[in-house]
Amino acid sequence: MRSHDDVRHVVILGGGSAGWLTAALLAREHHAGEPGGLAVTLIESPNVPAIGVGEGTWPSMRDTLRRIGLSETVLFRECDASFKQGSHFQGWMRGASASDGDHYRHPFTLPLGFGDVDLVAGWLQRHGDRPFAEVVSAQPHVCAAGHAPKQAATPEYAAVANYGYHFDAVKFGLQLRSHAVANLHVRHIADDVTQVLSHDDGDIAALRTRAHGDIEGDLFIDCSGMASVLIGQHFGISMRSCRHLLFNDTALALQVPYATPDAPIACETIATAQPAGWTWDIGLPTRRGVGLVYSSAHVSHDEAERQLRAHASRTGAQGELAAPRRIAFEPGWRERFWHRNCVAVGLSAGFVEPLEASALALVEMSAAMISNEMPATRDEMALVERRFNDAFTYRWERVVDFLKLHYVLSRRDDTGYWRDHRDRASLPDRLAELLALWRHRAPYRNDFARVEEVFPAASYQYVLLGMGFVPEPSTRARHASVGDAAEPYFRETAHLARRMLGALPLQRSLIAHIRAHGMPRA
């Protein structure tokens, strides 16, 4: 019976960051190329270019790259990488400039003392006239000064301040491919798939290719991007739209050169609110990645491009810029991600929007769960399928909650886009309930029930308080002892910030050192 067949061969359709990251993790952790190991084959069309826009990661990427054995020095030398320490939001509260105080930061480092004392109540008592993030974390000070999150002597993947990456997504995918094929025994087939072949029970049996014949497998992973060849086209698993909650459906992307070769490299993704969307600004060593994500129901494509070019000029772009790439998307995710012997990872599973860089993080989570729960037999696959679908339905819903938080708290009233985002009909029910609770207390861990939440309670605190949503503290929270308990953490944070600013190099100088000399191996 097929139900008792061992799962011995995984076939991945599609390359890019999603395909190659998944292939590398499965091959590394399931001993591809060794006797009894899992065989991993990746089929990649030579005629389909990578999207290549997802240039930001979370700190989790450090653990993922360490798991697959990729050198961090190689990442910086080959992928035009820089350090990312969080996000800097400008103009989201009132539509004013950062110089007018309309800005806040969401750093990657947890507040010092988070979970030990009520930092929010203590901040309101003692330092409510200062930005919350700057009182509870040293990282905003490090980012504002343009410093890197580690020193030249810090080993690969170790950190002084928590960090992820910015990088060239196309170069990243190519580097993952090189590593997976050369070092992890992933079989790479450059070919077009012409047909999906099925067993009698409906499972996928093989992918027919133009030049390499039929590629049989036991588990098929759909990393074919928005085309979603397997989970969407073949199995017909529909999308669950969230356009009624998050309106953006189009992105424009530019590559902008620096005015001078020694220009500072931003340590954060800079997200600037616009009349019908927001711009991202990502600093790489050789260029900036600048783009606008917007709602085509609220602004025309021509006007959106004009706004993007104006923003690029205001932020230092010089000379004639190339025409931006336009990428349309339907915000949402699959009704099911794992169906029979097929699982979707990356854009084939869904896409909401690039705010807070959740796309690659969801790829990492997907690849990790597939690897951790790799079914031994076809019988077990149905059990893993249910667990996977439950986990990722929850995760996509939490991503929407967190992203919506940035919009619903805005007080901007200059366009219908921002007014529509505050309409109760566009607010997820779970988020509405939490906002009601948070009127009188800050988010804390018990608000989020899963062990592996997508965004921790601390991230909600950074955004809520950064956007000016300040709770009215209870009588208990106003007691002087609350401020007394929190104050030592605030003093230690200020001391840590001074030490870091004195010891950490500038971002560009550290990257130059890494490219020339590498990093110490852990």
The reply to whether 281 falls in a domain is: yes
pTM for this model (two decimals)? 0.96
The CA distance from 462 to 119, in Å, is 12
Cβ 82 vs Cβ 283: under 8 Å: yes
The reply to whether 275 falls in a domain is: yes
Total count of domains within the chain: 3
The sign one gets for the Cα dihedral 261, 58, 65, 384 is negative
Do 115 and 103 lie in a common domain?
no
Domain CATH for 254: 3.30.9
The pair of three-digit structure tokens given for residue 279, joined into one six-digit string: 């711009």
Cβ 337 vs Cβ 388: under 8 Å: yes
The pair of three-digit structure tokens given for residue 143, joined into one six-digit string: 């980012």
The reply to whether 26 falls in a domain is: yes
The pair of three-digit structure tokens given for residue 172, joined into one six-digit string: 């990243």
- Residue ranges making up the domain that contains 193: 2-79+168-240+330-398
The sign one gets for the Cα dihedral 154, 155, 161, 163 is positive
Q: Is 384 helix (H, G, I), strand (E, B) or coil?
A: helix
Q: Is 453 helix (H, G, I), strand (E, B) or coil?
A: coil
State the pLDDT at residue 48: 80
State the pLDDT at residue 4: 61
Neighbours of 499 (CB within 10 A): 12
Phi, psi of 368 (to 5 degrees): -65, -40
Cβ 509 vs Cβ 150: under 8 Å: no
The reply to whether 422 falls in a domain is: no
Binding-site residues for FAD, in ranges, read 15-18, 193, 347
Q: Where are the beta strands (DSSP E) in 154-249?
A: 164-166, 187-190, 193-198, 204-209, 213-216, 219-222, 239-241
Binding-site residues for L-tryptophan, in ranges, read 356
State the pLDDT at residue 475: 60
- Could you say which of 84, 150, 171, 404 is catalytic? 84
Q: Which residues pair with 189 in a beta bridge?
A: 43
The reply to whether 414 falls in a domain is: no
State the pLDDT at residue 1: 36
The sign one gets for the Cα dihedral 479, 480, 483, 485 is negative
Neighbours of 71 (CB within 10 A): 17
Do 352 and 388 lie in a common domain?
yes
State the pLDDT at residue 161: 98
Q: Where are the beta strands (DSSP E) in 91-175?
A: 103-107, 164-166
Do 18 and 65 lie in a common domain?
yes
Do 190 and 75 lie in a common domain?
yes
Binding-site residues for 7-chloro-L-tryptophan, in ranges, read 84
* pLDDT averaged per 10 residues in sequence order, the chain, 522 residues: 77 97 98 97 89 83 98 98 98 94 97 95 95 98 98 98 97 97 98 98 98 98 97 98 98 95 96 98 96 98 97 91 95 98 98 96 97 96 97 97 98 97 96 96 89 92 97 73 94 98 98 98 86
Choosing from 343, 378, 398, the residue where a domain stops is 398
DSSP element (H, E) containing 273: strand 269-274
Do 318 and 334 lie in a common domain?
no
Unique residue bearing structure tokens 């009127």: 439
Choosing from 306, 328, 350, the residue where a domain stops is 328
The sign one gets for the Cα dihedral 425, 430, 431, 436 is positive
The CA distance from 248 to 328, in Å, is 9
State the pLDDT at residue 52: 60
Do 265 and 293 lie in a common domain?
yes
DSSP H helix total and E strand total for the chain? 15, 21
State the pLDDT at residue 49: 76
Do 254 and 324 lie in a common domain?
yes
Q: Which residues contact 163 (CB under 8 A, 6 or more apart)?
A: 59, 62, 83, 84, 85, 108, 149, 150
State the pLDDT at residue 477: 63
The reply to whether 176 falls in a domain is: yes
| Active-site annotation holds for 404 | no
Do 357 and 380 lie in a common domain?
yes
Choosing from 398, 426, 449, the residue where a domain stops is 398
* Residue 50 vs residues 15, 154, 171, 223, 378: alpha-carbon distances, Å: 8, 33, 10, 11, 32
The string of pLDDT tens digits covering residues 405-420 is: 999 999 999 999 999 9
Do 347 and 392 lie in a common domain?
yes
Do 172 and 75 lie in a common domain?
yes
Domain CATH for 46: 3.50.50.60
Q: Which residues contact 195 (CB under 8 A, 6 or more apart)?
A: 207, 208
Burial of 188 (0-12, 13-18, 19+ CB in 10 A): middle
Closest by CA position to 225, among listed 349, 336, 403: 349
Do 235 and 338 lie in a common domain?
yes
The reply to whether 430 falls in a domain is: no
Do 338 and 234 lie in a common domain?
yes
The reply to whether 403 falls in a domain is: no
